């Protein structure tokens, strides 16, 4: 068993405190108060206002996409992005079981069925080889669409999640999905500012989705966004998330089922101030990651780092322990000492609502579930 007291001491040293150290807390040191006061003074604090437009413009620029659509949270963003990608009730969506529950929930909100495939050990994200293996064994193309030969359902989308801001192997995944004519929606909720081959995550799929929850690298308090290079999809997304209301000076006419998923202007004001600081946040977090990597190497503990041709935002940093027993001992000790740590998520197929979903062996996901622990990753002020 490792010397966990040394770990606690090092984290307290890095954060210069012996008080409770949270996993990830927001950092407000820019124009947050200025923009919030301006928003309140304008009286436009709800679903319209200049900060919503400004937020969408800034995010589209950061992600190198044509358009961003602000929404109330990342989960809502995934739900709508899947609908925009053509996912319908009773379709199947390929995704990973090693993820936050929102990924799988969003599929189910569309009446579709998650298919849980394994992750790669190096990225902790959806494995292109696992996707390929599943499709070769179970899929067929009919009239230009991909169908599951066993269930008869259409496989309409692939939803990879960039775990903790680490990119999946995108080139390989895109190649597989193109072969089988499956659209990609990137769950980039945790990956704002991360890149693959110098291009922003979230910009590779037909659509990408980000979260701006209070624990993300930049926050709007609560919020999310859909991004895409397809202006037509963006326009449709904006329409659907603003209750599918036909433009009119005073009449209320909604011609299809829409959602009240609008990000309030006051949240967008906070997000704008946060996005202005994104590059600085990433520099600080990458510096912290280097300190962690050196320290844990001296401890004989594996610190998880970015893969080749990628640049991670290191949203949540993590270590890989020897086994589940050591993981549990680490979690118990650090949390008892006021240093917040947490295990990676329970695999989705272990949850009651997803226990009957299709899945493969999950060999890598189970290995990681038993060993990965997140450690304090906040921007240090």
Domain of residue 99, CATH code: 3.40.640.10
pLDDT above 90 (res 1)? no
164 has pLDDT over 90: yes
> CA 186, CA 161: separation in Å to the nearest integer?
6
What average pLDDT does the segment 83-109 reach?
Answer: 98
Examine the pLDDT at 150 and tell me if it is beyond 60: yes
Q: Distance between CA 41 and CA 140 in Å, rounded?
A: 58
Residue 47 has pLDDT above 90, yes or no: no
Q: Are 70 and 268 in contact (CB under 8 A)?
A: yes
Q: Domain check: are 283 and 172 in the same one?
A: no
- Give the mean pLDDT of 240-249: 94
pLDDT at 82 over 60: yes
Average pLDDT over residues 107-121: 98
Say whether both 140 and 266 belong to one domain: yes
HEC profile for 270-327?
HHHHHHCCHHHHHHHHHHHHHHHHHHHHHHCCEECCCCCCEECCCCCEEEECCCHHHH
User: Is residue 127 domain-shared with residue 60, that is, in the same domain?
Assistant: yes
Other Cβ atoms less than 10 A from the Cβ of 139: the count is: 18
Q: How many CA atoms lie within 13 A of 330 on its CB side?
A: 25
What's the pLDDT score for residue 188?
A: 98
> Is 12 in the same domain as 98?
no
Mean pLDDT of the chain: 97
The reply to whether 148 and 205 lie within a common domain is yes
Are residues 63 and 227 in contact, defined by beta-carbon separation less than 8 angstroms?
yes
- Beta-carbon neighbour count of residue 41 at 10 Å? 9
Compute CA distances 297 → 80, 249, 302, 304, 343, whole Å.
42, 64, 7, 11, 20
In this structure, the answer to whether residues 18 and 37 fall within a common structural domain is: no
User: Are 113 and 90 within 8 A, CB to CB?
Assistant: yes
Within-domain flag for 294: yes
Q: How many residues are listed for the chain in this entry? A: 381
| pLDDT tens digits for range 340-363 | 999 999 999 999 999 999 999 999
pLDDT in tens, 181-211: 999 999 999 999 999 999 999 999 999 999 9
86: confidence class by pLDDT, cuts 50, 70, 90: very high
CATH of the domain at 346: 3.90.1150.10
Whether 71 shows a pLDDT value over 70: the answer reads yes
Question: Do 96 and 46 fall into the same domain?
Answer: yes
Q: Determine the pLDDT at residue 39.
A: 97
Please compute the mean of the pLDDT values over residues 223-242 and round it to a whole number: 98
DSSP state of 119: B
* Residues 171 and 69 grouped into a single domain: yes
Averaged pLDDT, 290-303: 97
Tell whether 9 and 106 lie within a shared domain.
no
pLDDT of amino acid 328: 97
Residue 286 belongs to some domain of the structure? yes
pLDDT at 338: 98
CA 363 to chain CA centroid, Å, is: 22
Q: Output the pLDDT for position 37.
A: 98
Domain that holds residue 84: 32-275
Look at residue 381 and tell me if it is in a domain. no
- Among residues 217, 243, 275, which one ends one of the domains? 275
Question: If residue 148 lies in a helix (H) or strand (E), which one and from where to where?
Answer: strand 145-148
Residue ending a domain, choose from 218, 241, 275: 275
Q: Give the global pTM.
A: 0.97
2 band by pLDDT with thresholds 50, 70 and 90: confident
Confidence of residue 3 (pLDDT cuts 50, 70, 90): confident
In a domain, 312, yes or no: yes
> In the 3-class helix/strand/coil scheme, how is 93-110 assigned residue by residue?
EEEECCCCHHHHHHHHHC
Contact 55, 69 (CB under 8 A): no
Q: How confident is the model at residue 134 (pLDDT cuts 50, 70, 90)?
A: very high
Average pLDDT over residues 142-150: 97
Does 85 lie in the same domain as 60?
A: yes
> In Å, how far are 212, 217, 225, 265 from 55, measured between CA atoms?
11, 15, 10, 9
327-358 in b/e form (b: 16+ CB < 10 A) is beebbebbeebebbbebbbebbbeeeebeebb
pLDDT for 381 equals: 81
- Number of domains the chain contains: 2
What is the mean pLDDT of the segment spanning 111-122? 98
């Amino acid at each position: 068993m490792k010397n966990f007291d040394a770990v606690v001491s090092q984290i307290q040293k890095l954060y210069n405190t012996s008080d409770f150290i949270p996993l990830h807390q927001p950092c407000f040191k820019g124009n947050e108060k200025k923009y919030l006061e301006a928003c309140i003074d304008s009286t436009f604090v709800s679903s319209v206002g200049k900060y919503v437009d400004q937020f969408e413009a800034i995010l589209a620029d950061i992600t190198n996409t044509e358009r961003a659509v602000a929404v109330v949270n990342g989960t809502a963003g995934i739900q709508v992005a899947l609908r925009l990608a053509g996912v319908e009730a009773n379709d199947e969506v390929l995704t990973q079981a090693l993820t936050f529950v929102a990924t799988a929930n969003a599929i189910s909100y569309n009446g579709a069925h998650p298919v849980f495939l394994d992750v790669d050990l190096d990225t902790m994200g959806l494995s292109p080889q696992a996707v390929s293996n599943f499709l070769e064994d179970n899929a067929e193309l009919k009239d230009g669409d991909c169908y599951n030969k066993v269930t008869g359902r259409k496989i309409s989308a692939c939803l990879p999640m960039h775990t903790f801001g680490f990119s999946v192997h995108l080139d390989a995944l895109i190649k597989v999905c193109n072969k089988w004519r499956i659209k990609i929606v990137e769950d980039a909720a945790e990956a704002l500012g991360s890149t693959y081959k110098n291009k922003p995550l979230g910009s590779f799929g037909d659509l990408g989705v980000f979260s701006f929850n209070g624990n993300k690298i930049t926050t709007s308090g609560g919020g999310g966004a859909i991004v895409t290079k397809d202006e037509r999809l963006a326009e449709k997304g904006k329409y659907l998330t603003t209750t599918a209301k036909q433009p009119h000076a005073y009449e209320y006419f909604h011609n299809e089922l829409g959602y009240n998923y609008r990000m309030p202007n006051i949240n967008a004001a906070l997000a704008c101030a946060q996005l202005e600081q994104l590059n600085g946040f990433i520099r600080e977090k990458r510096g912290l990651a280097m300190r962690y990597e050196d320290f844990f190497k001296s401890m004989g503990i594996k610190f998880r780092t970015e893969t080749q041709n990628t640049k991670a935002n290191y949203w949540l940093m993590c270590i890989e322990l020897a086994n589940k027993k050591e993981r549990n001992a680490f979690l118990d000790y650090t949390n008892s000492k006021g240093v917040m740590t947490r295990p990676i998520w329970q695999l989705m197929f272990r949850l009651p609502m997803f226990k009957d979903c299709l899945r493969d062996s999950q060999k890598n996901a189970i290995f990681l579930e038993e060993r990965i622990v997140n450690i304090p990753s906040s921007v240090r002020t």
